[in-house]
Each structure stands twice: as structure tokens, then as C-alpha cells.
A and B are shown apart, each in its own frame.
Chain A
Amino acid sequence: MANIPAARMRNFKPERLEDIATRIVECDLLIVGGGNAGCFVAVEAAKIAPALKVVIMEKAEIMRSGACSAGMDAINTYIPEGKTPEDLVRWSRAQVGGGPLREDLALSNAAELNDAVNDLERWGLPILRDGQGAVRYRGEWDISIHGEQLKPIMAEKAIESGADVYNRIAGTALLMHEGRCAGATGLGVRDGEFYVFRAKATVVSTGGAGTLYKSYTADSTDSGAQIWMCPYCVGSGYAMGFRQGGELTSLEQRWVATRTKDFCGPVDTISVGYRAPIVNAKGERVMSRYEHLGGEAAPRFIRANAPMEEWLAGRGPCYCDTTKMTPEAIAAMMRDYLNERPSFVLFLASRGQDVAKEPVEIYGSDPYILGGHTGGGYWVDMQRMTTISGLFAAGETAGGNPNKFVGGCCAEGKLAARGAVDYIKGRRLLPVNPDDVKREKKRVYAPLLTRNDEGIRPVEMKERLQRLMDEYAGGVSQFYRTNEELLDYALLHITMLQSQFIHLRAQDTHELMQAMETMDRVDVAEAVVRHLKARRETRWAGWQTRTDYPEKNDRDFNCFIESRRDPARGKIDVFTRPYRQIVPDDRRPG
């Protein structure tokens, strides 16, 4: 067992590809991404198959990596006494407007959910309980935690499980053998070395894809990453499998949420946790316009889009009205923020704002692809294996099963571990073609080794993509709206960006990592645009709004949109899969 520390930044200026060391690591199970789901994969694998050699390839340092690095103030799903996994799936289905969603996956996740959350509590995560010792619910399914240490707690257990954690190694590609996954390659962000991880099974748990779209605060000097989702989860896990022909699902169901304005902080903390209503400039309760859809309890995408519709109609700004809260409730809310997003408390202080007197302003976030929140991610089977044999997905990377959040990502980590461990039985390491490794190594280091022209900085291409996606593929500046022509424009320019990958240049290994990330973003963005084009209806306004097809069309689109990229030619096929309702009853209550 080892948490392998990374080196300090060093001056790494190789002249030739041959000067760069290649390190080969062999293991039974490779986990790409040691975040929320990845840590649970490691712990579960050690529990059911202690003899397996497990390796985690981690882009940051496992104690504070990924979406949970800032902390967390709630576990959004925990099944209360008297309710069943079927009830949770009914709720999840209603949150996505009746679906489609993978009810098979959702049910298996729900059955595992409470045990996974109980693990966290057993490991030392404070879960708030009432005087009688009962878990304190803040809404119908979500419970309050003091999760400042959530990530270190999960990481400690992953390390204790015996996994070898290779920190500061950014995944770049899958190793393939005759259509099966044979492991993955990585870039050593500090040592500059090239890593080849050979594995019998690989779980990709790299989180979702933030930073595809421009945030409206990105024009400010030092706030280009002032977004809600972790800006270092850029979709690399999707890109790695997509480039090898792995099937992605539901990318058009983007996650957009109402967040605090000018600082992308959580709003459910206030609106759900403390019942502070959302009001517009005139003081009218915004959700009263949506009574027929559930009012304050309307599905998430409706609540996310509602304040933006007020702005569009000239009734902005909108607020979460904290002025009726008691002093005790406000103090508790500030603690919640300090547990999850401490810098929001700093932001309020920098506005000199007393929330008891002044309500908290809210606005829409930039869109994200997040399989732990909405549906976008890999199409997986019940074992959480993707359509690539030997490649599994868990957490934000696994698609079709929205509303997993922290607890569901823990649960899915366990399920993917079981699937992968089962798959490994009787298998050997697959051979790795040295030509494939050499080709990938050449691709990875090209931005560092090529010095014949000035080229493009990775950040420049990232910002070009972000503005393109924002303005043409339904970003926040466009109130999430798009149409066929805008999407075609986006595709045209994404093709331009792809043709300019060869001009990316990096001055150091950090920038080299960013070059990889930017290419990953562009490739994922292409898939997102293809999905948005294919859903010729408006099913989840805000998450997915087509001004040219403003109505929902159940006849043609009560199904999943899927995409698959030809690994050889790069051409993307878009097709559908049917939705299967398993849990009975009305799909859209309320």
C-alpha cells in the first residue's frame, strides 16, 4: 500500500521523444481517477478480492482531488425509513421530467445507496442527527453533513485498502487489444514521464466535464474558473473511451443549476435546506408560475431555468429570499457553506452583505456534462461495463442514471468494483502493441517537443472553445437556447479546432497536461453538439432547449440519444436506444 508522492515542479525540456522515460506498471485493476467513485472502487475491490493488485492513476493528489476537494454540505440521496429504492427511482424519474433514464441502473444503485453512505459515517464523516439520533433530512431525500473532510476521509480509506496511488498522472488514452481495454496511458505532470498502466480491467472515474462552456464570470481577470463544478474535471475520462469507440449516452441532458450570482455557489443549500423562496425583482415567488409542475418542488431543470426565464422576461434580478430566516438558521447556513464552498462566505463578506437584511442573488450556471447529476456519460451494463470490453465506468462518467450525487457515486463505485473484479477472474494481462504506445507517446509530447513555430497556448484554444459553446451550443449567455444552425456553426468550428491540435504548444509539463485536457474538451464538446442536434424537441428546458423545436415530442424522442465515434476515421454516429420503464406509476407526478 502506498500513496506515492509526486515530485516538485521541475524544469523538463526534453529534446527528443527518446529522452522521455516510459514507465510500465502492471496491475489487476486500474482505476483512472481517485475521486468520490474511484475511492469506493478501491475499497470495495480490496474487500471482495484482497489479493488483487489495484492501482489508482490520479491527476491531482488523492487527498484533495476532484469535485469533492472543496468539501460538501449534504448527501442528496439517502433512503429514509418507510421508503424503498423504487420510491427513489420514481423521484429521480420525476426530477428528469419523466425520463428517459436507465431504471435498471437506478434501481441497483438505490439498493446499494444507504450502505455506501453508512460507510462514510462509519469512517468518520459527521452526519447531522436530531436529539433522538435519527438522521436529519433537509428535504425529501437529502441529509445534512459536515463534509469539509469528505474527500480526505474517502482518500484515506482508498489508501488503507492497499491500492497504489500514482499522484499527478493525467490519463491520456486507453490501451487497446482487439477491441478490449488493456489499461491506460498517463502523463506524469511533475516528472514528465510517460506511464503505461497495464491492467486486466480498468474503471474510469474521472468525474464529469466542466469547462466546456464559458462561465459568465470568466471575463474577470482572476476568475476564469469561478464555476460550480470542479474545473479540473474536464471530460478526459469520456474522451479516452470515446476515441476508442466507446458509446456515450444522453450528453444533451446537460446539468445546469441555479447558483448564487457572481459566485457560483450552491443554492439548494438555501432554497431546499432552509426553505428560502426564490423571488424575482418584484418580490413575486417565481415558482408560483410553475404550480402545475410542482411549484417549489418542481423538477430540477424547471427550477434551474425559472430564474433565467424571469430575467428574459425583464423581471430580473432574482433572489433566494433569506430575509425571513431566523438568526439560528442563518448561522447554520453559513456553516453549511463553509463545509462545502467556504469561499462563498468570503464572497458575501466582500460584498459587505448581511443575508438577514439582503437576499442572496441567484442566476444560472454554465452547463456541465455530469453523469452523477444528469444523464450524460458512458452507456454501461448492469456491471457498469461500457461498450468497450474491460472498461468500466462509475460516478459522473457513467451515464443514463441521473441524480446519483455523492451517495450514488459511492454506491456505483462499489458496483463497478464488483463488475470489474468478476470480469478479471481467469483473465491475464492483454498484450500491448509497442507501436500503439509509441504513437500515443508521440501525440502526448508533441506540444512540448515541437518548436518550429509559435503555435497556440492550450488556454487560448480552451477559451475559444468555451466561447463557441456558450454562444452557439446553448450556454448561459444565450439562456441555454440553441437551434440547428447554431449547432452546425459550432460543429464547423469544432472541426477547425481539431484540425489545429497540431499547433498546440506547451512550455512545461503543466501546460502539456492542459494541452491534453483541451483536446479532450474539444472532442467531448463535439459529441455534446451532436447530441443536442439529434434531440429535435425541447424535453428539459434549460438543460436542453431547442428554439426550433420548442415542444416535447414523446412520439419520436421518448428514448436515449447515443453516440459512437469510429476509432479509425473519427466519424461520429448518432443513434437512439429505447427507454424501458420498470418502476410502475405515472412518470411525471405533480
Chain B
Amino acid sequence: MPPKVDARRCNGCPGRAESHCEESCPGDLMAVHPETGRAYCRAPNECWDCMSCVKKCPRAALETRVPYQLGYYKATLKPVMGKKSVTWTCRDIHGKEFTYICVNRTK
């Protein structure tokens, strides 16, 4: 369940030792392409869909998508990270939208 990269939003995190997604992926799957300067997932089949990269991307350029073989087109789930909470917005295939706010830290 690989992340899709929005090439219009992604800027490859210039000036950082690593891009945010490259840094956070536990599987070493994200990289910035030397030619395009945009992030890509080098092995979509190996993604665990932990969403670490999606949570970390400062430009909201990444989105985890369920492969069609498992789920229908098209649902979205987007986190917005706060200091002590995360706000999730989920839209199902019928267009129904839900928002959940989860406290994730006490300090």
C-alpha cells in the first residue's frame, strides 16, 4: 500500500540531510529522485502502510492509497499533525467524510 506522491506539492526537502519521507520510512523505501528532485517509493510492494512518511511530510504531498485489489476507488485518509494531537480526515468511496481528533501526547 504505497504512498502516492503529489509532484506539484513535493519539493524533495532541499537543504535537509534527508527528505522527511526518506528519513522516516522504516523500510528505507522512500528516496528523492536525483533527476526529478521529487520523492518516490522505490518498492511499492514492500510498503507496510504505517503512514510515517505521510505524517511527516510538511507539504502534505504524500497520500497512502489502498491497492485496488484490496479496496475500491477511491478513499482518502489524511492526518494533520498538531503538537499534542493528530487530526484525521477520512473520506470513503461514497464521499462520506469523517474527522477524528486524537490526543497523542501529554507533554
Chain A residues within CB distance 8 Å of chain B: 5-9, 11, 59-61, 63-66, 69-71, 121, 123-126, 146-149, 153, 168, 189, 217, 219-227, 230-232, 262-263, 331, 334-335, 338-339, 342-343, 345-353, 459, 510, 513
Which single residue of chain A is at the shortest CB-CB distance from B42? A510
For the complex with contacts A342-B51, A343-B64, 10 further pairs of A-B residues with Cβ separation under 8 Å are A5-B18, A60-B27, A60-B28, A61-B24, A146-B104, A149-B104, A230-B50, A345-B90, A346-B71, A348-B92
Residues of A within 8 A of B45 (CB): 221-225
User: Contact: B77 with A346, CB < 8 Å?
Assistant: yes
User: Which residues in A have their C-beta under 8 angstroms from that of B72?
Assistant: 350-352
Contact yes or no, B66 A8, CB < 8 A: no
Q: In the complex, are the beta carbons of A148 and B27 less than 8 A apart?
A: no
Q: List 17 A-B contacts (CB under 8 A).
A: A8-B31, A8-B32, A9-B31, A69-B26, A69-B48, A146-B102, A147-B104, A149-B104, A221-B45, A232-B48, A263-B71, A334-B98, A335-B100, A342-B88, A343-B1, A347-B70, A351-B93
B70 to A339, Cβ gap below 8 A?
A: no
Q: What's the Cα separation between A9 and B98 when bound, in Å?
A: 37
Instruction: Tell me the smallest distance from the CB of A205 to a CB of chain B, in Å.
Output: 15
Instruction: From the candidates B26, B47, B75, B76, name the one contacting A222 in the complex (CB within 8 A).
Output: B47
B69 CB–A CB distance under 8 Å: yes
B91 within 8 A of partner (CB): yes
Q: Once the chains bind, are B70 and A126 in contact (CB under 8 Å)?
A: no
CB contact list, B43-79 vs A, under 8 A: 43-52, 56, 64, 66-67, 69-77, 79
Distance A232 CA – B27 CA, assembled complex (angstroms): 6
Q: In the complex, which of the residues A6, A60, A222, A351 contacts B1, with contact meaning CB atoms closer than 8 Å? A: A222
* Known contacts A9-B32, A124-B106, A220-B69; is-contact A349 B75 (Cβ 8 Å): yes
Q: How far is the CA of A351 from the CA of B86 in the complex (A)?
A: 24
CA distance A64 to B27 in the complex (A): 10
Q: What is the minimal beta-carbon distance from A330 to any residue of chain B, in angstroms?
A: 11
Q: Chain B residues near A153 (CB, 8 Å)? A: 105
Contact B92 A352 (CB under 8 A): yes
Q: Would you call A346 and B90 a contact (CB within 8 A)? A: yes
What are the residues of chain A within 8 A of B105 when measuring CB–CB?
Answer: 124-126, 149, 153
Residues of A within 8 A of B92 (CB): 348-350, 352-353
B16-40 CB contacts (< 8 Å) to partner A: 17-19, 22-28, 31-32, 34
B66 touches A343 (CB 8 A): yes
Q: Select one of B50, B76, B88 contacting A64, CB under 8 A.
A: B50
Hey, which chain B residues are within 8 Å of A342, CB to CB?
51, 77, 79, 88
Partner of B104, one of A7, A60, A148, A230: A148
Question: B7 near A: Cβ within 8 Å?
Answer: no
- Contact assessment for A231 and B104 in the assembled complex, using a CB-CB cutoff below 8 Å: no
Cα distance A64–B106 in the bound complex, in angstroms: 19
B94 contacts A by Cβ under 8 Å? yes
A225 — which chain B residues lie within 8 A by C-beta?
27, 45-48
Asked whether B8 is an interface residue with its Cβ less than 8 Å from the other chain, the reply is: no
Are B26 and A66 within 8 A (Cβ)? yes
Whole-angstrom distance from the CB of A355 to the nearest CB of chain B? 12
Give chain A nearest CB distance to B22 CB in angstroms: 6
Instruction: Please report the C-alpha to C-alpha distance between residue A458 and residue B15 in the assembled complex, in whole angstroms.
Output: 33
Query: Are B2 and A222 in contact, CB atoms less than 8 angstroms apart?
Result: yes
CB pair B26–A335 under 8 Å, yes or no, is no
Q: Bound complex: CA of A66 vs CA of B28, how far in Å? A: 12
Give Cα distance in the complex from A342 to B63, angstroms: 12
Encode B80-107 as 1/0 by CB contact (under 8 A) with A: 0000001010111110001010111111
**Chain B nearest CB: distance from A400 CB in Å?**
27
Say yes or no: B77 contacts A349, CB within 8 Å.
yes
Chain B residue contacts of A338, Cβ below 8 A? 86, 88, 100, 102
Note all chain A residues with C-beta closer than 8 A to B73.
350
Q: Are B18 and A351 in contact (CB under 8 A)?
A: no
Residues of A within 8 A of B74 (CB): 350
Contacts of B32 in A (CB 8 A): 8-9
Nearest-neighbour CB distance to chain B for A63, whole angstroms, equals 7
Q: Which residue of B lies closest to A149 (CB)?
A: B104
* A61 CB contacts on chain B under 8 angstroms: 23-26
Among B24, B48, B74, find the residue whose CB has the most chain A CB atoms closer than 10 A: B48
Q: Which residues of A contact B88 (CB under 8 A)?
A: 338, 342, 345
Per the bound structure, the CA–CA distance linking A9 and B43 in Å amounts to: 14
Of all A-B residue pairs in the complex, the 5 with the closest CB atoms, nearest first, are A350-B71, A220-B69, A349-B75, A70-B50, A349-B92
Among B31, B49, B75, the one with the most A-chain Cβ atoms within 10 Å of its Cβ is: B49
Q: Which residue of A lies closest to B17 (CB)?
A: A5
Determine whether the beta carbon of A349 is less than 8 Å from that of B47. Answer: no
- Name the residue among A123, A224, A225, A230 with the largest chain B CB count within 10 angstroms: A225
With contacts A64-B52, A224-B45, A231-B27 taken as known, whether A125 is within 8 angstroms of B106 at the C-beta atoms is: yes
Given contacts A221-B67, A346-B76, A189 and B28 within 8 Å (CB-CB)? yes
- Are B103 and A349 touching (Cβ within 8 A)? no
Q: Are B49 and A343 in contact (CB under 8 A)?
A: yes
CA distance A70 to B94 in the complex (A): 27
Say whether, besides A5-B18, A226-B70, A350 and B48 are in contact (CB < 8 Å). no
Most chain B Cβ neighbours within 10 Å, of A8, A70, A189: A8
Closest to A223 in B: B67
Residues of A within 8 A of B51 (CB): 70, 342-343
